[in-house]
Amino acid sequence: MTQDLNLKALERRAWRSFYQDGLWDIALGMILLAFSAGAFLDRTGLSSGKRMTVFMLIEAIGIGFMWFGKRYITMPRIGRVKFSKERTQKRTIIILVLGFSVLLGVVLYVVAVRAVSGSGTGILASGMMPLLWFVNCAIVFSALAYLLDFTRLYFIGAVFAITVPVDDLLRRTTEVDVSYLVFGIPGLIVLGVGIGILIHFLKTYSVPEVDNEG
Amino acid sequence: MRDDLPTMPDEIDKLIHEPARLKIMSLLYVIESGDFTFLMRQTGLTWGNLSSHMTKLEDAGYIDVEKEFKGKRPNTMLSLTDTGRVAFRVYRRMMRSMLDTLPE
């Protein structure tokens, strides 16, 4: 009885059930892999325009998979729900935060590419880039984790936040360019976790034979 | 909010008091609306069970059934009516007052 009448916990459980599918993890893992691919292609001497195209394409695949996955994998298994106005307002904030973060991320990436290719403003050399990246990731992922009530995002945020500072540190101390590994290894870990969670989700929830058409 | 509630009835609302319907009412109270799949997943009830309880709640005027389209597919969303919300709040208040008066 106590359990049934704990309404806040009930609402929270319903909300959190939408993050049991691993799709966020997969999308974020793909974003890290996009950075990795960009860094790897940099070694091949590919033009920055083509590198950016590959970068955006991999990101689009990750985000697209999340969007289609929510629609065609999660919804048929978990069902459709309209949450309270408070949750809807939070969702609007999430979209704004994400939009700002992606914009800032792209700007930082362009700055980094220009700096590495020698036409930049020196922001990379000054050590500001890793700091900006770290602060952006820390703020954005913490805000998202809090607003989405999605604890795993704190961990993913920490992984994102340390990549650029670690890359910068390795460049300065070893003078070896292993950016593709610095982004690629955590990217594969986050992606792997996401795929594992998705498989578990698919095993746990089959599409029920329900007449939602009433 | 509590002041808007009608006078406490003499008896507990047996329609809500049944465990499965209490689960449904509680869930619909904390969201705006949900479809059959969502309610099934969250309450752990089978489709047949859920359907029969829904009919009873709908007949009592506690639940509203709204048909909408998701793309080309029709989808039925269920939500609490104002009557249902008030009935649930009255039920909660009554249960609380009943249980609070019990000796330790």
Domains and CATH numbers, chain B: 14-96 (1.10.10.10)
CA distance B104 to B88: 26
pLDDT at A43: 80
Question: To 5 degrees, how large is the angle CA A42–CA A46–CA A52?
Answer: 75
Order the strands of the B73-80 sheet from edge to edge: A81-82, B33-34, B73-80, B63-70
Range of the domain at A66: 20-75+87-204
CB contact under 8 A, B41 and A10: no
CA distance B39 to A211: 12
CB contact under 8 A, B75 and A79: no
* Domain contains A114: yes
E-strand ranges in A78-178 read 81-82
Which residue in B30, B70, B95 is closest to A7 by CB distance? B30
**Closest chain B residue to A9 measured between Cα atoms?**
B30
Which residue in A4, A8, A78 is closest to B23 by CB distance? A4
Q: What is the share, in percent, of chain A residues with pLDDT greater than 90?
A: 31
CB contact under 8 A, A80 and B92: no
Question: How many structural domains compose chain A?
Answer: 1
CB contact under 8 A, B26 and A4: yes
* Domain contains A30: yes
Q: What is the pLDDT of residues A80-134, one digit of tens each?
A: 888 888 888 877 887 787 788 778 777 776 776 666 655 555 555 557 778 888 8
**Closest chain B residue to A1 measured between Cα atoms?**
B19
Query: Å from A75 to nearest chain B CA?
Result: 9
Q: What is the pLDDT of residues A9-40, one digit of tens each?
A: 888 888 888 788 999 999 999 999 998 998 88
Lowest average pLDDT, out of A114-123, A146-155, A202-211, goes to: A114-123
pTM reported for the whole predicted model: 0.77
pLDDT at A4: 45
